[in-house]
Amino acid sequence: MSDRFSRRVFLLGSAALAMTAPRALAQTNDLYGGAMDAGTNDGSGGLWYDPAQLPPAESPEDFPIPQANLNKIPAQFHRQLVNYSGPEWPGTIVVDPANHFLYHVQEGHLAIRYGVGVGRAGFAWSGLAKVGLKRRWPRWLPPKEMVERDPNARKWINGQPGGPDNPLGARALYLYANGQDTFYRIHGTNAPDSIGKSMSSGCIRMLNQDIAELYLQVPKGTQVVVRTSDGSAISLIDSSAAKIDSSAGQGQDIGTPQ
């Protein structure tokens, strides 16, 4: 790629269609895809994985969904119905990294709120995307940088089969922008203690039982809004357009329990 996008925040300054107002669209980024530099890994300068592995396959076996022990997870990160003050239309997924929450917006100023794990420092991102692909027990292709630094990831260079030991967990929603895979996901996890923490490589982690429920609720094409890492609203392309509720800024929770 000719442009190098920041892992911290990437916003597209061209026309982007949202249901409430035009906003920045998440762009594709080469953390999870792209050509290897000459001299790295095999030195060929070619792709480091077999392109035939994309889109990732589902597991041929539909494993039972493991239930996390909620007694070990703080109560605020349990699935719950909350009042919702944001402007998004029902059906929208809103991720609030500052508070480690994901909202599935409902009718009547309500939302189902889930606790999530988000990107650690240097890997966080924000923007708009859509659910472009859904997978059950998906195959995982490790990021290029992880392949280069982690021998365990290197053995899965062409993908780890889906299953209970797979880092993507039970289900995955693949985020697209402008019709292209951003290589960011909302997915399950085999590490439930990561919920409520900032320790991923940029993707949004959910408990397996939570992503399994969300997977059934959202169709392809669902809009996804990922707020900035400090909890502030996503900047709008058109400054005259309706602003996102300022109560969501500065890390304040935009949803309150019923």
Q: Is 11 part of any domain?
A: yes
Q: Is 240 part of any domain?
A: no
The Cβ of residue 22 has, within 10 Å, a number of other Cβ atoms equal to: 15
Nearest by Cα to 226 from 151, 132, 134, 125: 125
Q: Look at residue 81 in the predicted model and tell me its pLDDT.
A: 98
Q: Look at residue 231 in the predicted model and tell me its pLDDT.
A: 66
CATH code, 35: 2.40.440.10
For residue range 5-31, what is the model confidence (pLDDT) as tens digits?
Answer: 333 333 333 333 333 333 445 433 333
Q: Look at residue 7 in the predicted model and tell me its pLDDT.
A: 38
Q: Is 252 part of any domain?
A: no
203 noted as active-site residue: yes
Q: Which of 78, 100, 109, 203 is catalytic?
A: 203
Q: Is 250 part of any domain?
A: no
For residue range 130-169, what is the model confidence (pLDDT) as tens digits?
Answer: 999 999 999 888 877 778 888 888 888 888 889 898 889 9
Domain that holds residue 19: 1-58+73-233
Across the chain, what does the average pLDDT equal? 74
Q: Give the C-alpha distances (Å, rounded to integers) separating 19 from 32, 90, 129, 130, 234.
A: 28, 10, 12, 12, 14
CA gap 169, 159 in Å, rounded? 14
Q: Is 222 part of any domain?
A: yes
Q: Is 257 part of any domain?
A: no
Q: Is 64 part of any domain?
A: no
Q: Which of 100, 104, 109, 187 is catalytic?
A: 187
Q: Is 258 part of any domain?
A: no
Q: Give the C-alpha distances (Å, rounded to integers) separating 176 from 9, 75, 127, 135, 218.
A: 16, 32, 11, 14, 14
Q: Look at residue 232 in the predicted model and tell me its pLDDT.
A: 66
Q: Would the pLDDT of 35 be above 60?
A: no
Contact of 30 with 1, CB cutoff 8 Å: yes
187 noted as active-site residue: yes
For residue range 167-213, what is the model confidence (pLDDT) as tens digits?
Answer: 899 999 999 998 888 888 999 998 999 999 998 777 899 999 999 99
| Token output for 127 | 């923007």
What's the number of domains the chain is made of? 1
The model's pTM is 0.73
